[in-house]
């Protein structure tokens, strides 16, 4: 395996985790919550939310580890685009912690989705 393949693999994992992290939020908001909102069996929604939450946490962890590796390898920490992206990743982590504390505050979910979409835009800017 060449060094090029290795870094392509790291970027591949970064993008797969991005797909899960952002796609999961969209599917959860568009399909799962509206359908299960009125379900009398509250445990079903809780169980799905828990699994979705763990999956998103793993995806976010992978994004940070692979993103850090890419930024070090390509020497990008001086880039203001990356610095904005990191600030927004910090915001997403903070909002997620607040969401765990106050799960019924829907504005938090909307803010997490919005910040995630901006992060994807900044990621595209970074990759050029």
Interacting residues with ligand HEM (CB under 6 A): 11, 14-15, 18, 21, 63-64, 67-68, 70-71, 74, 76, 85-86, 89, 92, 116, 119-120, 123-124, 126-127
Minimum CB distance to ligand HEM, residue 126 (Å): 4
75 Cβ contact partners less than 8 Å away, ≥ 6 residues apart: none
Pick the closer one to ligand HEM by CB: 71 or 111. Answer: 71
Pick the closer one to ligand HEM by CB: 15 or 32. Answer: 15
93 touches 54 (CB < 8 A)? no
Minimum CB distance to ligand HEM, residue 16 (Å): 11
Minimum CB distance to ligand HEM, residue 19 (Å): 9
Torsion sign over Cα 118, 120, 126, 128: negative
Minimum CB distance to ligand HEM, residue 110 (Å): 16
Pick the closer one to ligand HEM by CB: 61 or 103. Answer: 61
Pick the closer one to ligand HEM by CB: 57 or 127. Answer: 127
119 Cβ contact partners less than 8 Å away, ≥ 6 residues apart: 85, 88, 89, 92
* Pair of tokens at residue 112: 């997490």
DSSP 79-111: -HHHHHHHHHHHHHHHHHHHHHHSTT-HHHHHH
């Amino acid at each position: 395996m060449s060094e090029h393949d290795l870094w392509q693999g790291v970027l591949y994992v970064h993008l797969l985790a991005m797909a899960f992290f952002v796609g999961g939020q969209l599917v959860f908001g568009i399909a799962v919550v509206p359908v299960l909102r009125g379900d009398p069996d509250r445990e079903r929604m809780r169980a799905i939310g828990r699994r979705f939450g763990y999956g998103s946490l793993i995806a976010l962890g992978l994004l940070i580890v692979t993103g850090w590796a890419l930024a070090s390898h390509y020497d990008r920490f001086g880039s203001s685009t990356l610095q904005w992206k990191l600030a927004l990743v910090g915001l997403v982590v903070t909002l997620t912690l607040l969401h765990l504390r106050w799960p019924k505050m829907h504005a938090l979910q909307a803010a997490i989705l919005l910040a995630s979409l901006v992060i994807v835009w900044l990621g595209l800017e970074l990759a050029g």
